[in-house]
Amino acid sequence: MRRPVARKLAVLAVSAAVVSLGAAAPPTAHPGDAEPGQAARPGAAPKVPVAVGYGGAVASVDQDASAAGIEVLKKGGNAVDAAVATAAALGVTEPYSAGVGGGGYFVYYDARTRSVHTIDGRETAPLTAGSDLFLENGKPLAFNDAVSSGLSVGTPGTPATWQKALDEWGSRRLGTVLKPAERLARDGFTVDDTFRSQTASNETRFRYFPDTAKLFLPGGRLPVVGSTFKNPELARTYEELGRKGVGAIYRGDIGDDIVKTVDHPPVDPASGWNARPGKLAEKDLAAYQAKLQAPTRASYRGLNVYSIAPSSSGGTTVGEALNILENTDLSKASEVQYLHHFIEASRIAFADRGRWVGDPAFEDVPTAGLLSQRFADSRACLIKDDAVLTSPLAPGDPRHPAACGTGGTAAPTTYEGENTTHLTVADRWGNVVSYTLTIEQTGGSGITVPGRGFLLNNELTDFSFAPANPAVHDPNLPGPGKRPRSSISPTIVLDAHNQPVVALGSPGGATIITTVLQTLTGFLDRHLPLVDAIAAPRASQRNAAQTELEPGLYDSPLRQQLEAIGHSFKLNPEIGAATGVQRLPNGKWLAAAEKVRRGGGSAMVVHPAP
């Protein structure tokens, strides 16, 4: 049921007003007004999950990172400049989620041309990698054995993404936008509960690698909450990147150090850990390209939803699910029926993702078909108001849509690490960036490049280690130079005049897709203010027998009502950690982040409105 755009935008404006009036006025010592890029010290103003004002906005999980982006905006930089500065700062304060040793996907809205562009900065497998990359004696490696090894490390894409974005749309040099992060790494940031707990969960494997233990377990102990954590080696790496450019990684000394580390992991012999060597070579770094490509686009309620195309499955899967939901009026549905349809649309979209999406440089990915309304309608008819589909659900065929048709063998959802990070930025000219970056699971491979201050990714474990069914083609097997499938879903929504409505994204591995979908429908259909759509308790169905629920839903009467229809659930303590920005009238922006998840996020604007 398509509703007029004018009505929808009026609703969004009302939602924005609710947030604006309901949010506390920014404190006098607002973190965005402190010395930008400096660590938040005990007694400083707490980070806030929502901010409204002018001159641009930044939302991330971390106060220091958001402040780095605000510093760049205040000095006249644009959204792209600020996004790179924020991402680099996250490499300091969120080193287990992001950094120059990883990759990601960058979505950019150009206000001058009113168009959306994207960069695929996904890591790639070595050029010598085959489909047997994770087989040993003919059998798949145990997942944990693969993670903390050189085999799991893909060619980093984050530095190339930063440079490509700045070259295409930025207004500042790389060295300039890296300065806040360089300063933060040198002077330090304040350790919080999240940083300590993430270190603790990785302590055993961090001790396998002396350079990692030296950096993240200072004095052989966990970092103390409230202490200052410094990373002078990373500060020097940023300084070198700023001075020499990203060629220092792809054709220079930093890259040489990465290759040596991957191919001969510096493991503590006393640990007994078998850190299997990787296959990375200098030619892999030299051949790497961050790819400019067209975004995915789905029409929803008269709005245009743009995201990242394969190699990520995020744009196609979120887009297909929205298309499935298009003909259901979610604004009038009960909470139970809203969640039921959201869960079932997610289940179907994941079934199709598993069969069809891989790296398009190697696989024939039917992107247009997956995003067609005709295909979505052929799948939507599977959903019944009073019954639940059985998982794993077999995929449909977007090349030949058949009403309520399924066929072939269901493909299970590959495990993806959940500790990615997302940032969202807007500037005073109306440009917007939605950027998700990652080193895969919390702590990546666990391997730190000696003397360089950053962890390497374990992104190649996003590949299927072996086909789930040898008789069915798996589009996500490893290959030479291939990008593993991702679920990253940075999203920008435009109105009928190609003006931004909202931009958002989330970390969370495969749960990214369901988090973005639920947040979008909560905001667009359920009329929740953006910060409340982000905070709402989440469900995640990924073509599995059980749907994961956060405690807010698992412990509510809604669970029993959904179980009465036939749903089955399991508890997940925390799903995702989203951020977003919303365009308001007259040049005003709203930035929103988590209220509680991962310790709460940090929303800032350049000039707060009273």
Is residue 553, in this structure, part of any structural domain at all?
yes
> Residue 404: its pLDDT value, please?
85
Query: Could you tell me the two tokens for 253?
Result: 């000394």
Would the annotation count 193 as a binding residue? Answer: no
In 3D space, the residue among 540, 394, 582 whose CA is nearest the CA of residue 18 turns out to be 582
Whether residue 50 has pLDDT greater than 70: yes
Share of the chain above pLDDT 90, in %: 88
- With the C-alpha atoms ordered 41, 43, 45, 46, is the resulting torsion angle positive or negative? positive
Tell me which of 52 and 47 has the higher pLDDT. 52
Active site residue 317: no
Angle formed at CA 221 by CA 218 and CA 225, multiple of 5 degrees: 85
d(CA 232, CA 380): 54
Q: How confident is the model at residue 29 (pLDDT cuts 50, 70, 90)?
A: very low
Query: Is residue 457 assigned to a domain?
Result: yes
- Crossing angle of helices 314-325 and 511-524, rounded to 10°: 40
Q: Is 489 annotated as a binding residue?
A: no
- The stretch 148-171 carries a mean pLDDT of 98
The 8-class DSSP code of residue 248 comes to H
Whole-number Å distance between alpha carbons of 461 and 153: 8
Q: Which of 503, 609, 589, 424 is nearest to 56 (CA)?
A: 589
- What pLDDT sits at residue 3? 31
> Whose CA is closest to 438, among 423, 454, 424, 421?
421
Any domain includes 360: no
Q: Which residues contact 529 (CB under 8 A, 6 or more apart)?
A: 15, 16, 18, 19, 22, 523
Residue 36 lies inside a defined structural domain of this protein: yes
> 64-103 pLDDT, tens per residue?
999 999 999 999 999 999 999 999 999 999 999 999 999 9
Q: Identify the CA nearest to 82 among candidates 366, 429, 563, 519.
A: 429
List all residues 6 or more positions away from 214 whose beta carbon is below 8 Å from its beta carbon. none
The CA distances from residue 586 to 20, 74, 430, in Å, are 14, 19, 11
Identify the band that residue 46 occupies on the pLDDT scale cut at 50, 70 and 90: confident
Is residue 369 in a domain?
Answer: no
**145 assigned to some structural domain:** yes
Report the 10 Å Cβ neighbour count for 210. Answer: 17
Give me the mean pLDDT over the 415-437 stretch: 89
Tell me how far apart the alpha carbons of residues 46 and 319 are, in angstroms, rounded to a whole number: 36
Looking at residue 473, its pLDDT comes to 86
Q: What are residue 447's phi and psi, to 5 degrees?
A: -100, 120
Residue with tokens 């005709």: 374
List the structure tokens of 414: 């590959």
Any idea which of 336-345, 403-412, 476-485 has the lowest mean pLDDT?
Answer: 403-412
pLDDT for the residue numbered 413: 65
Q: Domain range holding 168?
A: 5-46+66-293+414-608
Angle at which helices 314-325 and 335-356 cross, to 10° = 140
Angular region, 76: left φ>0, alpha ψ -120 to 50, beta rest? left
348: left (phi over 0), alpha (psi -120 to 50) or beta: alpha
How would residue 418 be classed by pLDDT, with cut points 50, 70 and 90? Answer: low
pLDDT of residue 24 exceeding 70: no
Look at residue 420 in the predicted model and tell me its pLDDT: 87
Backbone angles phi, psi at 500, to 5 degrees: -65, 140
Distance of CA 375 to the CA centre of its chain: 27
Q: What is the pLDDT of residues 166-188, one digit of tens each?
A: 999 999 999 999 999 999 999 99
- For residue 502, the cross-strand partners are 493, 582
Q: Which two tokens stand for residue 121?
A: 């900065």
Going by DSSP bridges, is the β-strand pair 432-438/421-427 parallel, antiparallel, or unpaired?
antiparallel
Buried b / exposed e over 330-351, threshold 16 CB at 10 Å, is bbebeebbbbbbbbbbbbbbbb
255: part of which helix (H) or strand (E)? helix 253-263
Cα–Cα distance for residue pair 447/95, rounded to 1 Å:
12
Closest by Cα among 97, 69, 83 to 576: 97
H or E element at residue 17: helix 5-22
Helix, strand, coil percentages for the chain (3-state, nearest 5): 35, 15, 45
Distance from C-alpha of 91 to C-alpha of 352, rounded to nearest angstrom: 34
For the domain that residue 452 is a member of, what is the CATH number? Answer: 3.60.20.40
Instruction: Tell whether 487 is in a known binding site.
Output: yes
pLDDT band for position 277 (50/70/90)? very high
Domain count across the chain: 1
Query: Could you tell me the pLDDT band of residue 417, with boundaries at 50, 70 and 90?
Result: low
- Of 564, 573, 558, the C-alpha closest to 338 is 558
pLDDT at 73: 98
Catalytic residue among 199, 414, 420, 547: 420
**Model pLDDT for residues 347-373, shown as the tens digit of each residue:** 999 999 999 999 999 999 999 999 999
26/41 Cα distance (integer angstroms): 18
- Joined tokens for residue 268: 């503590």
For 55, the enclosing helix (H) or strand (E) is strand 50-60
Distance CA 166, CA 89 (A): 16
Report in angstroms the alpha-carbon separations of 492 from 505, 509, 581. Answer: 9, 19, 9
**Is 54 a domain residue?**
no
**Residue 352 located in a structural domain:** no
